[in-house]
Chains A and B, each alone.
Chain A
Amino acid sequence: MYPEDYRYTKEHEWVHVEGDTGTIGITDHAQHELGDIVYVDFKYGRETLKPGQHVDQGKTIGSVESVKAVSDIYSPVSGEVVDLNGTLADAPEKLNEDPHGGAWLVKIRLSNPGELANLLSAADYQTYIGAEK
């Protein structure tokens, strides 16, 4: 369920690093907690998040809204946004179906790979969500 080669945050994001780029998404646990997702918005401060934007680890890069609730997305790493998943605008429900794969949110070129040490392993994340309940 939770890929071993991903790293996780306590705010329920994941990052999968390949080379110098991290793909970011929300966890299966997060989509389950939110329920049916209706909107995904990318924002950094008051501006729409676009490729080229530098983001800092832990800062809000957008929000995911379900029928029941809205939840901020926090960037698990610092770096430059290189891509956004445009398919989610028209099909936000993909986040409920494939949160660890096709429904990734953004790709970021890492400016400080050392930050990955601050994140949780798959095992630690699963222990964390087990304890949170």
Chain B
Amino acid sequence: MPATAALKATCLNAAHRSMRAKMVDFGGWDMPVQYSSLVEEHLAVRRSVGVFDVSHMGEIDITGPEALRLTDYVTTNAAGRLKTGQIHYSGLLYEHGGFVDDVLVHKVAEDHYFLCVNASNQEKDFVHIRAHNRFDAQVQLSSDDYAQIAIQGPNARATLQNLTAADLAAMRYYWFIDGTVSGTPARIARTGYTGEDGYEIYVAPAAAPRLWNEILGAGKEFGIKACGLGARNTLRLEAKMALYGHEIHASITPWEADLGWIVKLDKGDFVGRAALAKQKEQGIQRKLIGFEMADRGIGRDGYEVLVDGAPAGWVTSGSPAPSLNRNIGLCYLPVAEAHVGRAIEVVIRSQPVAAVTVETPFYKRAK
């Protein structure tokens, strides 16, 4: 069946359909939510290896003599501390301190920073960065130049190493190289959104369908599974990685989202700094915290949270955790209540169900 005309499709759309993936409208993109079983796909990543089409993600290049100054000015983390070939997680904020987006910043060269941004935010991010560009720098929305494939799990390295001469063992976590995968020029980054070790590779869209099949072939000995956005969501939730539109959005600041570590107030001025400095001084009112259902039920996104029987917050993400056999979630609570071990209730279809706040991440891989 053809995708609805209004939906955007990645260069791997035909591959997903030929694999009989269940397709959904994901922020305007026709994307695979699962191929076989979300739980099986999730567990393949935890135990061995899985591959994801994340070509819907956006890419923005910031280049020019003052590329660093612009990158540092529009993001919260200290881009100046990145070495060439290094990556970090960062925030793109409005002046009022709320999130425009969360991004991965790659330092390609002294005069070149490469940002991986959320699919549905890419135009907004591009406009935002350009609007703040009072430097000698160029900003380019490069998403059409890239397909992105994520290979994740304990056997991700062995799978990808079958296809590249690059020395993957020598590449550290959150570093990247520009090399080749199966003869195709590729930016190979040791990053991911699953809580496992793994790689995200950026290639020309035309090369992606062949590469997709070669990765599936290279991982066959490890039982590789193609994984949809459903497993991607449960994997990132277990690892407590934020999802834009859920844990973070325009009305949430990094302090509230428990992402203070990506804010470097001492690095000099940046968009949102004044608001963040003020909020730090005054203190936050609400904070993100993990919870686990104590009674039967799944506290899902948007459900109300009660403390001592009174409305106190809301669930940002909630799901069964396939690796943990528990029902977990993240929620915003008043700061005074946002401590581990607090008994709360999640209102599930008009019914308050007992839960308790817990330490996060819910899942942490053995190093």
Contacts of A67 in B (CB 8 A): 38-39, 230, 234, 319-320, 322
Contacts of A96 in B (CB 8 A): 37
Is A77 part of the contact surface with B, judged by Cβ < 8 Å? no
Contacts of A33 in B (CB 8 A): 22
Q: In the complex, what's the smallest C-beta–C-beta distance from B363 to chain A, in angstroms?
A: 15
**B298 and A35 form a contact (CB under 8 A):** no
Q: Please classify how large the interface on chain A is, using the bins under 10, 10 to 19, 20 to 34, 35 or more.
A: 10 to 19
Is A65 part of the contact surface with B, judged by Cβ < 8 Å? yes
Bound state CA distance, A67 and B38, in angstroms? 8
Chain A residues numbered 16-62 whose CB sits less than 8 Å from any CB in chain B: 32-33, 35-36, 38-39
Q: In the complex, what's the smallest C-beta–C-beta distance from A93 to chain B, in angstroms?
A: 9
Contacts of A38 in B (CB 8 A): 298, 320
Please, which residue of chain A has its CB at the minimum distance from the CB of B321?
A67
Is B1 part of the contact surface with A, judged by Cβ < 8 Å? yes
**B38 and A68 form a contact (CB under 8 A):** yes
Contacts of A39 in B (CB 8 A): 296, 298
Q: In the complex, what's the smallest C-beta–C-beta distance from B24 to chain A, in angstroms?
A: 9
Q: In the complex, what's the smallest C-beta–C-beta distance from B283 to chain A, in angstroms?
A: 37
Is B33 part of the contact surface with A, judged by Cβ < 8 Å? yes
Contacts of B319 in A (CB 8 A): 67-68
Is B71 part of the contact surface with A, judged by Cβ < 8 Å? no
How does the 8 Å CB contact mask read for B308-348 relative to A, with 1 for contact and 0 for none? 00000000000110100000000000000000000000000
How does the 8 Å CB contact mask read for B1-45 relative to A, with 1 for contact and 0 for none? 100000000000000000000100000000001100111000000
List residues of A whose CB falls within 8 A of some B CB.
Answer: 32-33, 35-36, 38-39, 63, 65, 67-68, 70, 96, 133
Sorted from nearest, which 8 A-B pairs have the closest CB atoms? A36-B39, A35-B38, A67-B320, A67-B38, A38-B320, A36-B38, A36-B37, A68-B230
List 9 A-B pairs, Cβ < 8 Å. Answer: A32-B22, A35-B37, A38-B298, A38-B320, A39-B296, A63-B349, A67-B38, A67-B230, A70-B300
